[in-house]
Structure 1
Amino acid sequence: MLFKLISLLIVLPNILLAQHTISGMFSPPKDYKVALLYKVTPTVSEYIANAEVQKDGSFQFQLDSAVTSGMYRIVYAVPQEDYNFDVIYNGKEDIMLSFNTETGVEFKSSSENKLLKSYTKSMSAVTQSISNYFRENKKDTMALNAIFKTQREAQSNFEKLAEKTIALQFIKANRPYIPKKYEDVKTYVSNLKKHYFDYVDFNNKTLQSSSFLEERMNNYVFGMSSEGVDETTNYKNNIDVFCNAMKDAPVAIKRILLVSLWQQMVDLDYEAVANYISKKQLIEIAKSLKDNELVDALTLYKNLSIGSKAPDFSFEIIKDDKKLTKKLSELGNAEKYIIVFWSSGCSHCLDEIPKLQKFLKSYKKEKIKVIAVGLEDDNKVWKEKIKSYPEFIHVLGLGKWDNKIGNKYGVTATPTYFVLDKDKHIIGKPDDIEALKALLIR
């Protein structure tokens, strides 16, 4: 009896520790070094494990009994938010998969993940059939009704197959608008847009713990278009529909989704749309969560958008051997102003600033004025360098990357340019000297 008890005590830890595995193959193998596994909850991701990717591309995560069922995310590169994919783990089975950046993830074993992948593939095929029908201007109404019937049956069958699984929540949330009878393309597209979020429950924790809600948002905002409406207006209209659809969602979830959408618009240089998201919802959400960092980021971006009045700042000038304090807003007479943030220790700046000086010699002195803000740790080298540019207004920005003026303008690299009109409104933010020239010449 004692021997059996001792044997059980030896075996039990192994039973508790070795439950299931998530394993797979990355290809091409040379592109991958390590994989990270996170359990995803609605607002945070909990680190679970990491696995080295072998020379043949294989990897494996060992999951113990502490790893519960739910949504998991495998990260394979940085930045992590861009290079990852979701996996359903039901706590009952091993998962085997393969992944390629071009073709995505394919599940070799795992009933739930394979079922969801099969559903997505089947519904995409039906959607393609509908698109082909309308694109080819077919007139056979019975043929279209047959496609709708196939779509309806496929949705129903997959929902039955997925009963009592995590996958069911995604399948139900993805249920498309399916007409009961023939509709022409205009009516169908209108109804598709109208009912796009009908089955999406923004309070569902499983959906919140995956990329589903973000993908749904992106597909609607970037994928739905309206005839006769310009791109900016179309995006704003789509954002209104999306925000209305998720009006009852938790504030934290709204923040996550809208920050993602705002950042995408920023990256795509849709300033008007990014500021619309901020003004419409996001800045109030940030304030309600006391997220001062986000409030500051949204405010800074708006203040530096094209058309905004340039943030004002003070500086000293020498006139008649006297030091005078001036403000940017007080400068007059020039048609345009160039604010350039540079540094005497920046080799790229020392290459571009002389080019800027040479280029501006072709302009009348009163047409363009340059305010050169030197972001410096001290003034020793800076004092010598500025002697070569007597026509510029020079401003010493001590503290370098922690300088008040630089912070007002969100400067994270040198040189950074801002072009202002005579009233000090921002009219351009060229990336380099060549872009600056192009902006001034046109």
Structure 2
Amino acid sequence: MKKLIFIFTFLPTILMAQYTIKGTFSPADDYNYALLYKVTPQSNIYVSNTEIKDGKFKFELDSTVTKGMYRLVYALPQEEYNFDVIYNAMEHIELSFDQEIGVNYTKSKENVLMNSYSNDMAALSESIGAYFQSESKDTLALVKIFKKQSEIQNKFEKAAKGTIAASFIKANKPHIPVSYKSVDDYLKSLKDFYFSYVDFNDETLQSSNFLSERIINYVFGMTDEEKGDLENYHANIIDVFDAMKEAQPTIKKSLLSVLWQQMVDLGLESSANFIADKYLLPLAEKAQDKALVLELKKFKSISIGTIAPDFSLEKTLNDPTTKTKLSALNTANDYVVVFWSSGCSHCLEEIPKLREFVKTLKKGKLQVIAIGLEDTPVNWRRLVVSYPEFIHVLGLGKWTNKLGELYNVNATPTYFVLDKDKKIIAKPDDISELRDYFEN
């Protein structure tokens, strides 16, 4: 987590504050600025910023700030460190945020209502889990919990009528049996009815994290123990797409992009490409979203199991120098393509270790192709003479170098391990992981 650091010019205003969003952050020393955005299905609209001083903050909202869903960002990256706030333009909002616990609302009818609903339903879910874990034979006890769950759901739906919170309470309604169910039947019914009350075209839900969190929880949480992870994930992804079949294409694209990114972040390349190939890429192409199309295709092109993007290089076999391509190399059983830079201290530490590791292997086992991403060739030329056993490629332009862009390189060193056919078989994070890959 990185603190937000901003320099703002505050302009005088003639608009008077109507309501406020204020509260505390804990630990106080970890936070210094907060940003507020209004969230719509299409975008996040900047509203205001405020300093967090001694753990306290306050947003003053004037009459131009309309009711709806808002997102409070408290650290970087913004996509990770935020929470949603319901603002109905009729009340002050007070809250506390704890790094371990999360957000708790102490003032605001709608947000407190959501807090209470979430806490009550979570407690009932724990009671159901405890019942099944105890292997109790008292079937009436379970039926009583189901009845209580139904009463709580109905109570909050009634209390939320006419509010923004109503959309969330209705959409979050679980399947509630009216009679006893075994644990297997209960879990099956939870999965079967998981999206029954979710309206993917509800703009309030679209303007929050609810829908993305819902589909992520389904994909990773509603799994079958008899199936492998990938089989579970792919089957659940199909279910998710089927559940939102009536949603607008822009919403489908947005939600599937979030799910795709989640797979990327978790290193689940096969599942990320499954989403892209089956659903997301066709949606992006139809929407003429060229940036997303390029991102999806580029990611797949450097995924494990694909043939590495080809490029030209020069190799010296004693003398003279021979021009060739990566795909034409036949000098080793495996290859390491490493992107590095003479100005990267981490690289200058790892590249010598890579050289020493290669020396421990049998000749012809591993060939290194070292691509130097550089602004100028001066330092690179001075350093590469120390690595005559490597095949060297100079990539001028550094971060805008076409070869670096082809391999989606945004940090150095970056490693790709290829087999003899130039298929990507591993992408270790550092020299230690690379060494472990070959030794184990």
Greater displacement, 354-363 / 102-111: 354-363
**Structure 1 residue 321: deviation in Å?**
4.8
- 1:274 and 1:155 mapped to 2: Cα distance? 36
Stretches of structure 2 that go unaligned for 5 or more consecutive residues are 1-12
- 2:69 and 2:383 mapped to 1: Cα distance? 57
Q: Name the structure 1 match of 2:74.
A: 76
Greater displacement, 239-248 / 364-373: 364-373
Aligned residue type for 2:111:
N
Match of 2:98 among 100, 122, 126: 100
Q: Name the structure 2 match of 1:23.
A: 22
TM-score by length of 2: 0.93
Greater Rg, structure 1 or structure 2?
1
Q: Name the structure 1 match of 2:33.
A: 34
**Structure 1 residue 333: deviation in Å?**
4.0
1:156/1:329 CA distance change after superposition, 3 Å: same
**Structure 1 residue 47: deviation in Å?**
1.2
**Structure 1 residue 58: deviation in Å?**
2.0
Q: Name the structure 2 match of 1:368.
A: 366
- 2:51 and 2:341 mapped to 1: Cα distance? 42
Where in structure 1 do 4 or more consecutive aligned residues deviate above 3 Å?
A: 317-324
Q: Name the structure 1 match of 2:5.
A: none
CA contact (8 A) 2:314 2:391 kept: no
CA contact (8 A) 2:331 2:367 kept: no
Stretches of structure 1 that go unaligned for 5 or more consecutive residues are 1-12
- 1:366 and 1:279 mapped to 2: Cα distance? 37
Q: Name the structure 1 match of 2:187.
A: 189
- 1:363 and 1:291 mapped to 2: Cα distance? 47
Q: Name the structure 1 match of 2:61.
A: 63
1:338-417 alignment, distance < 5 Å: 338-417=336-415
Count of matched residue positions in the alignment of Structure 1 and Structure 2: 428
In structure 2, the residue corresponding to 1:388 is in which secondary structure? coil
Q: Deviations over 1:113-149 (max 9, x none)?
A: 1111111111111111111111111111111111111
1:148/1:296 CA distance change after superposition, 3 Å: same
1:316-355 alignment, distance < 5 Å: 316-318=314-316, 321-355=319-353
- 2:48 and 2:169 mapped to 1: Cα distance? 28
Aligned residue type for 1:61:
F
**Structure 1 residue 23: deviation in Å?**
1.4
CA contact (8 A) 2:20 2:92 kept: yes
- 1:293 and 1:360 mapped to 2: Cα distance? 39
**Structure 1 residue 385: deviation in Å?**
2.1
Q: Name the structure 2 match of 1:143.
A: 141
Match of 2:225 among 206, 224, 227: 227
Q: Deviations over 1:307-365 (max 9, x none)?
A: 11111111233457545320111111411111122223333223222222222222232
Q: Deviations over 1:64-120 (max 9, x none)?
A: 111111111111111111111111111111111111121222222111111111111
Aligned residue type for 1:24:
G
1:186-335 alignment, distance < 5 Å: 186-318=184-316, 321-335=319-333
Q: Name the structure 2 match of 1:174.
A: 172
In structure 2, the residue corresponding to 1:88 is in which secondary structure? strand
Q: Deviations over 1:279-303 (max 9, x none)?
A: 1211112212222121111111111
- 1:135 and 1:92 mapped to 2: Cα distance? 45
Aligned residue type for 1:26:
F
Aligned residue type for 1:179:
P
CA RMSD of aligned residues (A): 1.7
Q: Deviations over 1:31-55 (max 9, x none)?
A: 2211211111112111111121222
Aligned residue type for 1:18:
A
- 2:223 and 2:95 mapped to 1: Cα distance? 36
Greater displacement, 385-394 / 234-243: 385-394
